[in-house]
Amino acid sequence: MLWGSSPAAVATRFTGVAQNYVADGPAERAERAKRTLLSAIAHHEPATLNQVADATGRGAPAVSRSVDALVRMGLIDRVADPNNRRRLAMRLTQQGKETLERPFDTRTALVEKLERMAPSELRAVERAIEILERAT
């Protein structure tokens, strides 16, 4: 029950609930990571593994595993570098370019949750947001 709770207790409870509505779940983080890799590859085309690792701030082994996944998804192509056959060069496929150009909407999950609320509940949430906005 909320009545009589301390501000600290309300803050703790609010934080726990808000995390369910923040558009930063595993699917969103994975999509952002994918877009970061695609963007780094597009910026350096033909990109090497080390260029992408440097651009993303990740280690080469982790980038290599992610690149494997992007190849399987059809988002990038890997070919031997004509100047150095031991090095692979990466380019975006048409599907990869389209993925990167498509807007990334993180609000979809939140909108779906809010759509399941009764109109009176949605008004109560809106009122709570107004109160929180005034408090900042």
> What does the pLDDT look like over 38-72, one tens digit per residue?
999 999 999 999 999 999 999 999 999 999 999 99
21-25, 40-44, 84-88: the lowest-pLDDT one: 21-25
Q: Would the pTM of this model clear 0.75, i.e. be above it?
A: no
- Top-confidence residue, 11 or 19: 11
21-30, 67-76, 94-103: the lowest-pLDDT one: 21-30
Q: 25-103 architecture in CATH?
A: Orthogonal Bundle (1.10)
Q: Does position 1 have pLDDT exceeding 60, yes or no?
A: no
Confidence of residue 75 (pLDDT cuts 50, 70, 90): very high
Kindly give, in sequence order, each residue whose CB lies less than 8 Å from that of residue 55, ignoring residues fewer than 6 positions away: 40, 43, 44
